[in-house]
Structure 1
Amino acid sequence: MTSPAMKFIRVNLEMAKEVAHKWEQASYSQTSAYCLDILKELGFPSTELPVNLQTREEQLNFIAGFASYAFGEVQNVQGAS
Protein backbone atom coordinates (compact mmCIF):
# COMPACT_ATOMS: atom_id res chain seq x y z
CA MET A 1 0.00 0.00 0.00
CA THR A 2 1.32 3.43 -0.97
CA SER A 3 1.32 6.15 1.66
CA PRO A 4 -1.00 9.08 0.85
CA ALA A 5 1.82 11.39 1.96
CA MET A 6 4.14 9.95 -0.70
CA LYS A 7 1.58 10.70 -3.43
CA PHE A 8 1.37 14.28 -2.16
CA ILE A 9 5.16 14.66 -2.16
CA ARG A 10 5.43 13.26 -5.69
CA VAL A 11 2.77 15.70 -6.94
CA ASN A 12 4.61 18.59 -5.28
CA LEU A 13 7.93 17.52 -6.77
CA GLU A 14 6.41 17.24 -10.24
CA MET A 15 4.90 20.73 -9.91
CA ALA A 16 8.26 22.13 -8.79
CA LYS A 17 10.01 20.42 -11.74
CA GLU A 18 7.51 22.01 -14.13
CA VAL A 19 8.27 25.46 -12.70
CA ALA A 20 12.03 24.85 -12.93
CA HIS A 21 11.83 23.65 -16.53
CA LYS A 22 9.69 26.63 -17.53
CA TRP A 23 12.24 29.06 -16.15
CA GLU A 24 15.13 27.28 -17.89
CA GLN A 25 13.64 28.67 -21.12
CA ALA A 26 13.47 32.25 -19.81
CA SER A 27 16.02 34.97 -20.52
CA TYR A 28 18.53 36.18 -17.95
CA SER A 29 16.58 39.41 -17.46
CA GLN A 30 13.35 37.45 -16.88
CA THR A 31 14.95 35.16 -14.30
CA SER A 32 16.58 38.16 -12.58
CA ALA A 33 13.25 39.96 -12.36
CA TYR A 34 11.49 36.87 -11.05
CA CYS A 35 14.17 36.35 -8.38
CA LEU A 36 13.64 39.96 -7.28
CA ASP A 37 9.89 39.31 -7.10
CA ILE A 38 10.46 36.23 -4.92
CA LEU A 39 12.79 38.18 -2.64
CA LYS A 40 10.21 40.97 -2.28
CA GLU A 41 7.54 38.39 -1.38
CA LEU A 42 9.91 37.11 1.31
CA GLY A 43 10.30 40.61 2.72
CA PHE A 44 13.63 41.73 1.25
CA PRO A 45 13.24 45.35 0.12
CA SER A 46 16.31 45.51 -2.14
CA THR A 47 15.94 46.38 -5.82
CA GLU A 48 19.18 44.59 -6.70
CA LEU A 49 19.98 40.91 -6.61
CA PRO A 50 22.38 39.78 -3.88
CA VAL A 51 25.85 38.57 -4.81
CA ASN A 52 24.80 34.91 -4.62
CA LEU A 53 22.13 35.37 -7.32
CA GLN A 54 24.18 36.96 -10.09
CA THR A 55 24.59 34.01 -12.43
CA ARG A 56 21.85 32.31 -14.40
CA GLU A 57 22.63 28.98 -12.71
CA GLU A 58 22.29 30.53 -9.25
CA GLN A 59 19.01 32.14 -10.25
CA LEU A 60 17.60 28.90 -11.67
CA ASN A 61 18.59 27.02 -8.51
CA PHE A 62 16.94 29.72 -6.39
CA ILE A 63 13.73 29.60 -8.45
CA ALA A 64 13.65 25.80 -8.36
CA GLY A 65 14.34 25.76 -4.65
CA PHE A 66 11.63 28.30 -3.96
CA ALA A 67 9.14 26.36 -6.10
CA SER A 68 9.92 23.11 -4.31
CA TYR A 69 9.59 24.88 -0.95
CA ALA A 70 6.31 26.49 -2.01
CA PHE A 71 4.96 23.09 -3.04
CA GLY A 72 6.16 21.48 0.18
CA GLU A 73 9.18 19.49 -1.00
CA VAL A 74 12.48 21.22 -0.33
CA GLN A 75 15.20 20.08 -2.67
CA ASN A 76 17.14 21.19 -5.75
CA VAL A 77 15.09 20.08 -8.75
CA GLN A 78 17.12 21.67 -11.53
CA GLY A 79 18.14 19.08 -14.04
CA ALA A 80 16.13 16.33 -12.35
CA SER A 81 14.30 14.03 -14.68
Structure 2
Amino acid sequence: MTSPVMTVIRVNLERAKEVAQELEQASYTQLSAYCLEILRQIGCSDTELPVNLQTREQQLNFITGFASYAFGEVLNVQSIH
Protein backbone atom coordinates (compact mmCIF):
# COMPACT_ATOMS: atom_id res chain seq x y z
CA MET A 1 0.00 0.00 0.00
CA THR A 2 1.35 3.44 -0.94
CA SER A 3 1.29 6.09 1.72
CA PRO A 4 -0.63 9.24 0.65
CA VAL A 5 1.96 11.32 2.50
CA MET A 6 4.79 9.89 0.42
CA THR A 7 2.82 10.61 -2.77
CA VAL A 8 2.46 14.27 -1.78
CA ILE A 9 6.17 14.51 -0.91
CA ARG A 10 7.13 12.98 -4.24
CA VAL A 11 4.89 15.41 -6.14
CA ASN A 12 6.32 18.36 -4.22
CA LEU A 13 9.88 17.27 -4.89
CA GLU A 14 9.18 16.78 -8.59
CA ARG A 15 7.67 20.27 -8.92
CA ALA A 16 10.54 21.74 -6.91
CA LYS A 17 13.01 20.06 -9.26
CA GLU A 18 11.17 21.60 -12.20
CA VAL A 19 11.57 25.03 -10.63
CA ALA A 20 15.30 24.42 -10.10
CA GLN A 21 15.72 23.22 -13.69
CA GLU A 22 14.02 26.36 -14.98
CA LEU A 23 16.45 28.45 -12.94
CA GLU A 24 19.59 26.56 -13.97
CA GLN A 25 19.87 28.87 -16.97
CA ALA A 26 19.53 31.99 -14.83
CA SER A 27 22.54 34.20 -14.22
CA TYR A 28 24.26 34.35 -10.84
CA THR A 29 22.76 37.83 -10.36
CA GLN A 30 19.24 36.54 -11.04
CA LEU A 31 19.68 33.60 -8.65
CA SER A 32 21.07 35.87 -5.95
CA ALA A 33 18.14 38.25 -6.33
CA TYR A 34 15.67 35.36 -6.16
CA CYS A 35 17.32 34.02 -2.99
CA LEU A 36 17.22 37.47 -1.40
CA GLU A 37 13.54 37.74 -2.25
CA ILE A 38 12.83 34.36 -0.62
CA LEU A 39 14.75 35.49 2.47
CA ARG A 40 12.72 38.71 2.59
CA GLN A 41 9.48 36.74 2.29
CA ILE A 42 10.38 34.66 5.33
CA GLY A 43 11.32 37.69 7.41
CA CYS A 44 15.04 38.26 6.89
CA SER A 45 15.95 41.88 6.26
CA ASP A 46 19.55 41.40 5.09
CA THR A 47 20.54 42.99 1.81
CA GLU A 48 23.36 40.51 1.18
CA LEU A 49 23.28 36.74 0.93
CA PRO A 50 24.59 34.79 3.92
CA VAL A 51 27.85 32.85 3.64
CA ASN A 52 26.02 29.58 2.99
CA LEU A 53 24.32 30.98 -0.15
CA GLN A 54 27.35 32.23 -2.07
CA THR A 55 27.72 29.54 -4.73
CA ARG A 56 25.36 28.76 -7.57
CA GLU A 57 24.87 25.21 -6.25
CA GLN A 58 23.98 26.47 -2.77
CA GLN A 59 21.51 28.93 -4.24
CA LEU A 60 19.82 26.29 -6.43
CA ASN A 61 19.58 23.91 -3.46
CA PHE A 62 18.04 26.67 -1.34
CA ILE A 63 15.51 27.58 -4.02
CA THR A 64 14.62 23.90 -4.58
CA GLY A 65 14.17 23.31 -0.86
CA PHE A 66 12.02 26.39 -0.45
CA ALA A 67 9.91 25.47 -3.49
CA SER A 68 9.38 21.96 -2.14
CA TYR A 69 8.25 23.36 1.20
CA ALA A 70 6.02 25.98 -0.42
CA PHE A 71 4.34 23.48 -2.75
CA GLY A 72 3.87 21.16 0.24
CA GLU A 73 2.05 23.87 2.13
CA VAL A 74 -0.24 24.53 -0.84
CA LEU A 75 -1.00 20.83 -1.35
CA ASN A 76 -1.64 20.30 2.36
CA VAL A 77 -4.08 23.22 2.48
CA GLN A 78 -5.88 21.96 -0.61
CA SER A 79 -6.19 18.45 0.80
CA ILE A 80 -7.93 19.80 3.94
CA HIS A 81 -10.76 21.34 1.93
Instruction: Give TM class, smaller chain.
Output: 0.7 to 0.9
For the pair 1:56 / 2:65, whether they are aligned, the reply is no
RMSD (Å), alpha carbons: 1.4
* Identical-residue share of aligned pairs (%): 75
Aligned pairs (5 A) from 1:2-81: 2-72=2-72
Of Structure 1 and Structure 2, the greater helix share is in 2
Greater gyration radius? 2
- Calculate the TM-score normalised by the size of structure 1: 0.77
Q: How many residues align?
A: 72
Paired AA for residue 7 in structure 2 = K
> Can you give the 5+ residue segments of structure 1 that lack an aligned partner in the other structure?
73-81
The CA distance in 2 between the partners of 1:5 and 1:45, in whole Å, is: 34
- Calculate the TM-score normalised by the size of structure 2: 0.77
> Can you give the 5+ residue segments of structure 2 that lack an aligned partner in the other structure?
73-81
